[in-house]
Structure 1
Amino acid sequence: MSDTTAPHVASAQRPSHAFATLDNVQLYRVGGKDPRKFLHGQLTQHLDEVTDTRARRAAACNPKGRAYAILLLVGDQDSILLRLPTAIKDSATSQLNKFLMLFRGTDMTPQDESRIFGLWGLETACSLSPEATSLDGAGDVLTLDDGKLIRVPDTAEGVPRFEFWRLSGDRLPDAPEATTADWAAAEISAGLAELDSTSSEAYVPQMLNLQHVDGIHFKKGCYTGQEVIARMHYLGQLKKSLFRLSIDSDQPLSPGTPVIAGDKAVGELVNVVAFDDGHQEALAVLKHAALTSQPWTLEGVDGTLARQPLPYPVPEQEQS
């Protein structure tokens, strides 16, 4: 990737062998007496599923079942490492701390010296450890001397991806450097939504397809928001979910922009990234009923929208 690529614009020549420094996320360590018990009561994931060799996604929700953060978690001996977007880290940790106060001897501390990198391609991961070839599927984790190497979901184009959580030292992957916008484009391609101040507490996790990326454990015990999430699952009440869109427009777009079908709003953009060839891509939460009322447009924006494939099936959309 060129060093002159603007950090807020992704390359239309998508990386397949590169790394990006993800300075838009913050790593935390939850440790002490009861880290798993504390997190188990707040997240959609069963903490038994999170180990030193297995990472899992999870949502943290309010009592109404609306997700205020999506986290990636990894075990580290007696602790749990988790990452949050810097855009919502203060509000998310404030909510979690309300419950952390009930767990004496348990703490959640930012790892300010750590760094997180996004990696494209097995060759890039192998530059950190030849054992990266053992990471066969999303969620597999390799513990290194200086951190954690995590296989994350591939892009829809089939490019293998990893995250390197560097806990110490200054080692970098041996690969060309891409940008955070390139990684945001890869996350959109992989169908992985990220929440910001616009979308935090706006959606039940199933609306973000979290159940299709191993982010919800429907058989675990109680946690904040569980009743709403379980009812939506078992009663089949999901009426909207996450779609991937290509947008033929160079007008600046932002999360929250309404998607229009006919003369009605049928959803809104959740994440969006611009490419250097003038087009944009987005993840949007849309009503399933909108599938019969295409074409879609964006409120106040000239340009056309096209539905793009996700790398995982969403049966709710096809049934609709």
Structure 2
Amino acid sequence: MSPSPENTQMPPISFNRGFTALTNWGLILAEGPDAANLLQGQLSNSVVSLKRTHSGEIAQGSEAVRLVGYCNPKGRLLASAWLGLFPGSADSDDRFALFVSRDIAASTAKRLAMFVLRSKVKVLDVSNDWEVFGTYQSSQVEQSIAVPKDALALRMPDVLTQGQSFERVLIAQRKSDINTSSVDEAALMQWNALEVLSAIPRIVLATQEQFVPQMINFESVAGVDFKKGCYPGQEIVARSQYRGAVKRRLQLAHTEVSASTLDLAKPGVELFIESDASQPCGMVVLTASNPSYSNRIDLQVECKLEALESGEIHLGMSNGPVLKIDQLPYPLIEI
């Protein structure tokens, strides 16, 4: 059973549309006739059936966009990524694009490349040569999102908050094709807030190898295909699902923080309950400042289910800021 969230009122969304460079996102390209087979054997989601999307088009829907995880042999997530298939031309080899956290792009590409062996595929971290952008807009905006002809773009799941739905698109362009690249601070704040409120996790350096996929609801947001073949950690992931061993889950939460405690609201920071100050009960997965309130932080947190029923959850220490648990925007898959 999932814990009951507090009946808290989310603040209104401040912006309807925005576009910004995403400096904390990177890009990995896997290209070649054997690219699909390589990724199929390494990632938590199926790759071989992915629909091709050509430059200038937006990959969208489950047939063209997949959330994937990359696990170590113990089933712990090394990385998560949004995956699309973007061939260079109509008759060229497969080219898969993985949009990942920039701080783990190089290590993830290096690890994937270890399994290339004699396969005809190249795996490269191109984060220094490509710029990643994010654009979003309210569903109330009638004009559709357009992307440059030379761009790789994929649509992430929409985010519904306060009765308003937001479309989100990740875009990658070669830096040599861009005239200017800048961060729009207001748009970046909104993008980050929408990502947290989506309750779809993203692994960063501080949270590498901390979570089995189900601990952060990865299977409930279509990040795991239990019918595909083997991949690193697959047996542990499957056992966690079918033997009812999932005792921790990702939750949405928020808290009010002062300048002195702002450093506590970062990925990798541990959670505590007052009754057990020595033993953490969870960890921060992702955070974002709320666009409407300067002292409010929205968070994705991984937490023991029993801790949610044991009293208040504190951020960073047993007497740290109290977290208020919010409603998840999707149901959890329970076996």
The answer (yes or no) to whether the contact 1:18–1:124 under 8 Å persists in 2 is: no
Superposition deviation, residue 114 in structure 1:
3.0
Matched, 1:163 2:169: yes
Q: 1:87 to 1:32 in 2, by over 3 A?
A: same
Which residue identity lines up with residue 151 of structure 2 in the other structure?
Answer: G
Match of 2:305 in 1: 288
Closer, same or farther in 2 for the Cα pair 1:230/1:126, shift >3 Å?
same
Normalising by structure 1, we get a TM-score of: 0.82
Name the counterpart of 2:26.
26
8 Å contact kept, 2:18–2:187: no
Counterpart amino acid of residue 47 in structure 1: V
Is 2:136 the counterpart of 1:126? no
Cα distance in 1 between the residues matched to 2:241 and 2:196: 24
Aligned-partner Cα distance in 2 for 1:294–1:49: 46
Residues 176-219 of structure 1: CA deviation (Å, up to 9, x unaligned): 87343432221110012122222101111111111111110000
Tell me the CA shift for residue 221 of structure 1. 0.6
1:36-69 deviation per Cα after TM superposition (whole angstroms, max 9, x unaligned)? 0001111001113422241101000110010000
The one of 258, 265, 268 aligned to 1:256? 268
Identity %: 26
1:305 maps to which of 303, 312, 323: 323
SS class of match (1:224): coil
From 205, 212, 216, the counterpart of 2:220 = 212
| Partner amino acid, structure 1, of 2:33 | K
Shift of 1:258: 2.2
RMSD: 2.6
Q: Is the 8 A contact 2:68 2:81 kept in 1?
A: yes
3-state SS of paired residue (1:160): strand
1:268-288 residue CA offsets vs partner (Å, 9 max, x unmatched) = 212122345211111111011
User: Take 2:247 and 2:22, find their aligned partners in 1: how far apart are those partners?
Assistant: 33
Aligned residue for 2:131?
Answer: 115
Cα–Cα, structure 1 residues 103 and 187, in superposed 2: closer, same or farther, change >3 Å? Answer: farther
Task: Tell me: CA distance 1:299–1:113, structure 2 relative to 1, closer, same or farther (3 Å).
Answer: closer
CA distance in 1, matches of 2:231, 2:333: 26
Structure 1 residues 298 and 24 mapped into 2: Cα distance closer, same or farther (>3 Å)? closer
Where in structure 1 do 4 or more consecutive aligned residues deviate above 6 Å?
none
Q: Matches of 1:125 and 1:98 in 2, distance apart?
A: 44
For 1:166 and 1:277, locate their aligned partners in 2 and report how far apart those are by CA, in whole Å.
30
Aligned length: 290
Q: Give the conservation status (yes or no) of the 8 Å contact 2:206–2:267.
A: yes
Instruction: Give the equivalent residue in structure 2 for 1:203.
Output: 211
- Output the TM-score relative to the length of structure 2: 0.78
SS across alignment from 1:92:
helix
CA 1:127/1:226 → structure 2, altered by over 3 Å: closer, same or farther? closer
Structure 2 distance, partners of 1:26, 1:257, is 23
**How far did 1:310 drift?**
2.0
Alignment correspondent of 1:48: 48
Q: Which residue of 1 aligns with 2:90?
A: none
**What runs of 5+ residues in structure 2 fail to find an aligned partner?**
1-10, 53-58, 88-93
1:116–1:163 contact (8 Å) kept in structure 2: no
